[in-house]
Amino acid sequence: MFGQSSLGSTSTNRMNDFEVVAPPEDSVSALEFSPATVQQNFLIAASWDSSVRCWEIEQTGKTVPKSMKTMGGPVLDVCWSDDGTKIFIASEKQVKIWDLASDQQMQIAAHEAPTLKFWDARSPNPMLAINLPERCYCADIDYPMAVVGTAGRNLIIYSLENSPTEIKRQESPLKYQHRTISIFRDKKKAPTGYALGGIEGRVGIQYVNPLNPKDNFTFKCHRSSGSAGFQDIYAVNDIAFHPIHGTLVTVGSDGTFSFWDKDARAKLKSSETVDQSITKCSFNANGQIFAYAVGYDWSR
């Protein structure tokens, strides 16, 4: 259903989840909870309706709309500053910073493909610009690691300590286009690898420096039995890791989310199917709240 989006539930709400008040009017392109430095739980969502919306999530599950900004075009990504006082917004080849205290926004970056740029918000010029082999389809950062996935099934890993430096370039373990990357940490809370989701209903678990090559593996997900023995295969739209336990959740175009234990290589739980694709997901800082966005994703 184009032009409608919901966060956390659908109109039927068979899982008894809480739907946010005043959701976006189009599909959600990014979804992020506030960092641990903020005492309350705030949720921001970017949408193809050109809006960025912020809600406070109360302990009862009640959602309170707090603020909204409208950009000049679809918003492709958002993220919080580490101290939770600002939001970075990507739209129309620009990055803007939204100061929540003053409610003012200011452009801090401009972009063109295919490049990777690093910025200091205090300067109008990038600190570093890196030419990529192809267009960037997905990326994630968890200091001191960054991973960029481009067209052509390229994966590039960077170390951000001192000056950003490429440390490894890999070919995707997936056969088809990747769509999402999420970095995971080891038991010492150090970034050590990443999960890669693609359009083929499959996830790849990749360690940057595996102790054993067999530590890297792929698994099938977001598939259903079709007619005459064929499978219906759906895209993996987003992946998030639990901040405490390290388990992961995948959401897909089949309208489900599933929880997985990558170490045991086992599925823990799957949701019921909602009436549209699930486009994005996020855990809050202590892992007690899980949010997901339901909407059209152009997959069919």
For 123-145, write each residue's pLDDT tens digit: 889 999 999 999 999 999 999 99
The answer to whether residue 35 is domain-embedded is: no
CATH of the domain at 168: 2.130.10.10
Residue 79 lies in a domain: no
* pLDDT (average), residues 273-290: 97
Give residue-wise pLDDT tens across range 106-122. 999 998 889 999 998 88
- For residue 14, the model assigns a pLDDT of 60
- The model's confidence at residue 211, banded by pLDDT at 50, 70 and 90, is very high
User: In the predicted model, is pLDDT for residue 235 greater than 80?
Assistant: yes
Mean pLDDT of the chain: 93
Q: pLDDT at position 212, please?
A: 94
SS (H, E, C) 268-288: EEECCCCCCCEEEEEECCCCC
Is residue 45 one of the residues assigned to a domain?
no
Q: Is the pTM of this model over 0.85?
A: yes
What percentage of the chain has pLDDT greater than the value 70? 95
Q: In this structure, is residue 256 part of a structural domain?
A: yes
Residue 227 has pLDDT above 80, yes or no: no
Mean pLDDT of 180-197: 98
- Centroid of chain to Cα 79: 10
Interval 212-235 mean pLDDT: 90
Which of the four pLDDT bands, split at 50, 70 and 90, describes residue 10? very low
- Res 296: pLDDT: 95
| Choice among 6-20, 64-78, 232-246 with the minimum mean pLDDT | 6-20
Domain count, the chain: 1
Is the pLDDT confidence value at 1 over 80?
no
Say yes or no to pLDDT of 4 above 50.
Answer: no
**Has residue 59 been placed in a domain?**
no
Residue 154 lies in a domain: yes
In a domain, 251, yes or no: yes
* Residue 176 forms part of a structural domain: yes
Which of 113, 134, 216 has its CA nearest to residue 177?
134
Res 11 pLDDT > 90: no
Domain of 204 in residue numbering reads as 133-272
Q: How would you write 47-100 as a 3-class SS string?
A: ECCCEEEEEEECCCCCEEEEEEEECCCCEEEEEECCCCCEEEEEECCEEEEEEC
